[in-house]
Amino acid sequence: MKTYLAKKGDVERTHIIFDAEGVPLGRLAVKVANALRGKDKPTYTPHVDTGNFVVVTNAAKVLLTGRKEERKIYQDYSGYPSGQKERTAAEIRAKHPERLVKDAVWGMLPHGRLGRAQFKKLKVYADDDHPHKAQNPQEAAV
């Protein structure tokens, strides 16, 4: 037996949809990151982007357990003196609820050229409505 290594042209991608309503953020992010990387496929190859396109709906209703809503801090730094901003998860959820899911998934992907390519296949929406219905996405259980 020889080890199978996927090639760029051999990859077949589908659309997978995750409903984030009432799901803990970390558990959702693990499932989404594995689908983006292709780790849920038997043809997974670490150095090739074998993952699927992922659509996450209801990102505004994702669950943060414990007191993370007030205590979890998100930091941004512009690069300028006194350009660091700190916001709580509640403030992020009020302005950009998609960012909660995107930041959690980005932290679970490789931080390089391959990870950036995989991250581009992620689409996150705050509510139920999304423009990817024509791709016939598969419902995924979280």
DSSP string of 108-140, one letter each residue: TS-SSHHHHHHHTTEEE-SSS--S-GGG-PEE-
What residues in the chain have per-residue pLDDT under 50?
Answer: none
Q: What are phi and psi of 98, to 5 degrees?
A: -65, -30
d(CA 127, CA 61): 8
**Predicted pLDDT of residue 36:** 97
Q: What is the structure's pLDDT at 141?
A: 86
Q: Give pLDDT, residue 142.
A: 83
59 neighbors 142 (Cβ within 8 angstroms): no
pLDDT of residue 1: 80
Centre a 10 Å sphere on the Cβ of residue 100 and count the other Cβ atoms it contains.
Answer: 24
Assign domain 8-139 to its CATH superfamily.
Ribosomal protein L13 (3.90.1180.10)
Residues 50-84 pLDDT 10s: 999 999 999 999 999 999 999 999 999 999 999 99
